[in-house]
């Protein structure tokens, strides 16, 4: 299971650097730039409407936040968790596109729900990370 998040440290640096759990908390409290929401939406291959739902926001709020300087701690943390998940999924599937398609497939393990539908809560993100860990290590359920 992933124990580090990947986020852009400094807005000019475009090389992801691993964050420990404590660094993730600190980075969340500092707030990500509003543009990070769009970047992570692109990474996951989701629409603005889907990303707004994952952040428990309206589409209008999502668009407004994309224009602001820094996001609040709660939104920043959700984005960092989604970024970590996207990185881990791409590692497990060895391709971002394959992972993004997997997110949109119903899984019997989830009661035929789509993994993407569970990413609006930290518990859902953790559940999907756990499933990715099973896939990575060949543990079938």
pLDDT given for residue 141 in this prediction: 60
Q: What DSSP line would sit under 84-135, residue for residue? A: HHHHHHHHHHTSHHHHHHHHTS-BGGGTSB-GGGGTTSHHHHHHHHHHHHHH
pTM across the whole model: 0.84
pLDDT value of residue 66: 80
As a whole number of Å, the CA-based R_g of the chain is 15
Crossing angle for the helix pair 35-44 and 59-67, to the nearest 10 degrees: 120
The tally of CA atoms less than 13 A away on the side-chain side of residue 40 is 32
- H or E, element range at 19: strand 17-19
Chain segment 81-134, per-residue pLDDT in tens: 999 999 999 999 999 999 999 999 999 999 999 999 999 999 999 999 999 999
CA dihedral sign, ordered 126, 100, 134, 110: positive
pLDDT at residue 2 is higher than 60 = no
Structure confidence by residue, pLDDT tens digits, 11-32: 433 335 677 889 999 999 999 9
With a cut of 90, say whether residue 68 has pLDDT above it: no
Neighbours of 32 (CB within 10 A): 26
């Amino acid at each position: 299971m992933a124990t580090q998040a990947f986020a852009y440290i400094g807005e000019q640096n475009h090389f992801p650097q691993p964050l420990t759990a404590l660094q993730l908390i600190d980075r969340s409290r500092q707030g990500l730039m509003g543009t990070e929401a769009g970047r992570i939406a692109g990474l996951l291959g989701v629409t603005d409407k889907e990303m707004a739902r994952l952040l428990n926001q309206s589409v209008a709020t999502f668009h407004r936040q994309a224009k602001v300087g820094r996001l609040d701690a709660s939104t920043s943390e959700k984005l960092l968790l989604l970024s970590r998940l996207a990185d881990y999924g791409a590692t497990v599937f060895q391709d971002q596109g394959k992972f993004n398609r997997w997110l949109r497939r119903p899984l019997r393990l989830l009661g035929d729900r789509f993994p993407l539908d569970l990413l609006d809560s930290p518990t859902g993100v953790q559940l999907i990370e756990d499933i990715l860990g099973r896939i990575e290590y060949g543990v079938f359920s």
